[in-house]
Amino acid sequence: MQRMPNAIQLTELTHDDLLALYAYPAGPAEPWIRVNFVSSIDGAVSVDGRSGGLGTPADKKVFRILRDLADVVVVGAGTARAENYGAAHTDSQLRIRLHHHGFGGDAAGAPPRIAVVTATATLDPSSRLFTDTGARPIILTTAAAPEDRKAALTAAGGQVIEAGDTSVTAGGLRKALEELGMRRVLCEGGPALFGDLIVAEAVDELCLTLSPMLVAGTERRIAMSPNAMPTPMTCRHLIFDQDGTILTRWVRPHTL
Ligand SMILES: NC(=O)c1ccc[n+]([C@@H]2O[C@H](COP(=O)([O-])OP(=O)(O)OC[C@H]3O[C@@H](n4cnc5c(N)ncnc54)[C@H](OP(=O)(O)O)[C@@H]3O)[C@@H](O)[C@H]2O)c1
């Protein structure tokens, strides 16, 4: 039987309380893959193809905190394209403070790097990902991706890494991040990448915001895959905001 999770009112929490509630395990020995999503209460992952319509103040607050705590933000190319991803812009003073307290962050206050997962290296070298000032983007791609595209992304400033033959495997992703010294991993989706990670049994944690709205339509759910992999998870906390937003954190039991 699962322990009852902590059910907390957001108004009772300070910013430091939230940092503690979302802290990664101390000094993870290998990459810890945390996934973050927001969903409507009827399961939609976007409104008109973007997730922004689901965001609430509480979700945005936790979204920022999760980036502040991470070494790297991993995202599928579909999401990077749909959401026009740029560099992560985090609080440099907070990142320094987190580093000094052993919670991640960065000694110099640098933001986490963005790592885009793409089988085909189909990214626009002139997109925000490469032009937004910030840390150099990492492109996790495959041996099969066209060489000219990989060369163009390298020329645009990306660090191109092959992490699989025809798709980026969970093992390839972990190895690449481990070699870069990045163990506090924040995956911001999307559904196809999350589905692949679930099926590969590579997800250590899910932070899921339930946004208090119904959407209907033909929007996707948070994980999609041709295969299913039922994976029991343990609830670590539920945080309620006054507008009805529920912030949840779920951890895979063997990683507790
Ligand atoms: N509500 C939320 O929190 C949230 C979060 C994220 C995304 N979204 C929404 O989700 C939608 C995007 O969905 P999506 O399924 O297209 O997203 P996705 O998983 O971000 O992108 C799919 C693409 O990512 C690449 N990819 C994924 N897994 C891969 C793997 N294992 N190996 C190699 N490449 C891999 C492939 O790129 P290539 O085609 O380049 O090879 C694939 O076509 C958008 O509407 C976005 O707004 C919502």
Q: Is residue 40 part of a domain?
A: yes
For atom 7 of ligand 1, which residue has the closest CA? 190
Cα–Cα separations (whole angstroms), residue 130 to 85, 179, 180: 9, 22, 19
* 9 CA distance to ligand 1 middle (Å): 32
- Kindly give the distance from the C-alpha atom of residue 16 to the centroid of ligand 1, in angstroms, as a whole number: 32
Whether 23 maps to a domain, the answer reads no
Domain range for residue 10?
Answer: 6-18+29-255
> 231 is written with which tokens?
């994976």
- Cα–chain center distance at 103: 17
In a domain, 24, yes or no: no
Mean pLDDT across the stretch 33-45?
98
Task: Report the alpha-carbon distance of residue 117 to residue 168 in Å, rounded.
Answer: 7
User: Among 77-91, 139-153, 158-172, 242-256, where is mean pLDDT lowest?
Assistant: 242-256
Distance CA 6, CA 216 (A): 30
Q: Is pLDDT at 213 greater than 90 in this prediction?
A: yes
Q: What residues pair up with 238 in beta bridges, in sequence order?
A: 7, 248
Q: Which residue among 36, 118, 211 has the greatest number of ligand 1 atoms within 8 angstroms of its CB, and so is best to mutate?
A: 118
pLDDT at 112: 97
**What pLDDT does residue 1 have?**
58
Is 18 a residue whose pLDDT tops 60? yes
What integer best gives the mean pLDDT of the chain? 95
- Examine the pLDDT at 181 and tell me if it is beyond 90: yes
What's the mean pLDDT in 59-88?
A: 97
Q: Which residue has the tokens 């920022």?
A: 64
Residues near ligand 1 (Cβ within 6 A): 37-38, 45-46, 49-51, 54, 76-79, 82-83, 117-120, 122, 167-168, 188-193, 196
Residue 55 · residue 101 · CB < 8 Å? no
What is the CA(145)–ligand 1 centre distance, in A?
A: 17
> Three-state DSSP class for 75?
strand
| Ligand 1 centre distance from Cα of residue 124 (Å) | 15
Predicted local confidence at residue 132, as pLDDT: 92
At residue 27, the pLDDT reads 82
Any idea what the CATH number is for the domain that residue 200 is in?
Answer: 3.40.430.10
Q: What is the pLDDT of residue 4?
A: 63
Distance, CA of 93 to CA of 213 (rounded, Å): 35
Residue 237 lies in a domain: yes
Classify residue 90: in a domain, yes or no: yes
Name the CA dihedral angle for 208, 214, 220, 223, rounded to a multiple of 10 degrees: 20
Number of domains in the chain: 1
Q: 134 falls in which pLDDT band (50, 70, 90)?
A: confident
Q: Is residue 162 part of a domain?
A: yes
Q: How confident is the model at residue 256 (pLDDT cuts 50, 70, 90)?
A: low
* Of 63, 8, 14, 61, the residue nearest 35 (C-alpha): 63
Residues whose CB is less than 8 angstroms from the CB of residue 154 and which lie 6 or more positions away in sequence, other chains included: 160
Q: What is the pLDDT of residue 196?
A: 98
Mean pLDDT on 137-143: 98
Quick check: is 1 in a domain?
no
- Residue 19: CB partners within 8 Å, gap ≥ 6? 65, 68, 69, 98, 103
Q: pLDDT grade, residue 106 (50/70/90)?
A: very high
pLDDT of residue 255: 56
Single-letter residue type at 170? A
Please tell me the distance from the alpha carbon of residue 67 to that of residue 102, in angstroms, as a whole number.
16
Q: Does some domain include residue 101?
A: yes
